[in-house]
Structure 1
């Protein structure tokens, strides 16, 4: 709880100053953002590796790492100012969490995870093209979604199948914990995709290190608070 409170303080202070959290969200950080993110752990098995794609302010990855220390969490974020914020938070909370500054497409063919999660990043068809190539065999994509998730599944299931995904399943998470439980969709890896993928054009020209910091063997950016 102490670490969670410190994380909320980061969101309310530096997170709003740097534009990662809207000022109007400060009063509802716990219910709408932190607890809303932490409950995704209900749908992740013990000891899994997890990538949080488009992590932004660390949602859902950091609350998930706080609630489930058995998980090995990697935060994937392409923007420098956000990745810098994430590394500062991880260092301050002394979390065993890796921060990688990259677009999801840049990691295709290089990294794989048991679970790839996201929150308010993109529609399911685009999420599948970004996230499913990162899912290990027998793994899954678990995305936090709104209440219209069932309609989104119906619209994009054929596209999900082309990316090697099985039937998408929607579930409400956080019942008994949240006044307004959150919706999530889980898409299991089924087999080889019917569509090919390639790294994003120009991905090899990105300036700066891919890993901002984290576990042993990664490279720190050397740029700290106030970096834009």
Structure 2
């Protein structure tokens, strides 16, 4: 077997015995009640994952190093008390993780795949979270209510997201996205299709991913409004 080249980083998936150990490894500090609720969420997520495909992150290292890290990096940029709609929540990342770690926020989760939406309902009920679950497309949700912040991770390329929300910017103030290294190409495609003309985009930060690579946080908002 050949050795990895200097530019390639082999996958890293350290083993941990408890969620507290994994959080400490990634230098994440949470109140113990939040840790306990987060661990319950992980257990419920993995249990449902045996019935329906919700996540590939089925080790403590991947759960914390990808799901929790992504969610908390995103949450850093959400103002206190904001009304948040998480788009395409799937198994609850980042929406439910943000709701657990940022109880000051008013988080709703939106999932158009009915099987996954039913699982979200069940998870929210079992965990006792005050998180509305919307079993519909985000565009339909935005026709019924308004939000301060929309969030999304691994839902669709930027151009497709902006196509979906093109007629709904009156219903929310900002869009926060977790993207990978292809975000520059996605921005170019969105510009080519004309979706960026009325919008501002700012890269808020970047951080390494477990196993190599980099994630970025992007914020988009309408030009005629003040920067959030």
Which structure has the bigger radius of gyration? 2
What SS class does the counterpart of residue 136 from structure 2 fall into?
coil
- Structure 1 78/172 Cα, relative in aligned 2: closer, same or farther at 3 Å? same
- The alignment status of 1:172 with 2:205, answered yes or no, reads yes
| Structure 2 spans left out of the alignment, 5+ residues | 1-34
- Does the residue aligned with 2:103 lie in a helix, a strand or coil? coil
Alpha-carbon shift at residue 63 of structure 1 (Å): 0.8
Please give the residue correspondences for 1:65-214 in structure 2 after superposition, counting only pairs within 5 Å: 65-131=99-165, 133-136=167-170, 139-157=173-191, 159-162=194-197, 164-166=198-200, 168-173=201-206, 182-191=215-224
The Cα shift of 1:132 comes to 5.2
Normalised by the length of structure 2, the TM-score is: 0.72
Contact 1:112 1:134 in 2 (8 A): no
> How many Å separate the matches in 2 of 1:95 and 1:190?
35
CA distance in 2, matches of 1:117, 1:152: 17
1:36 maps to 2:58: no
Q: Is there any run of 5+ residues in structure 1 with no aligned partner, and where?
A: 193-228
Residues 134 and 141, structure 2, Cα contact 8 Å, conserved in 1 = no
Taking structure 1 as the reference length, the TM-score comes to 0.72
Instruction: Return the match for 1:26 from 53, 58, 68.
Output: 58
The 8 Å contact of residues 40 and 173 in structure 1, kept in 2 or not, is answered as: no
Report if aligned partners of 1:174, 1:182 keep a CA contact under 8 Å in 2. yes
Once superposed, what is the RMSD of the aligned Cα atoms? 2.6
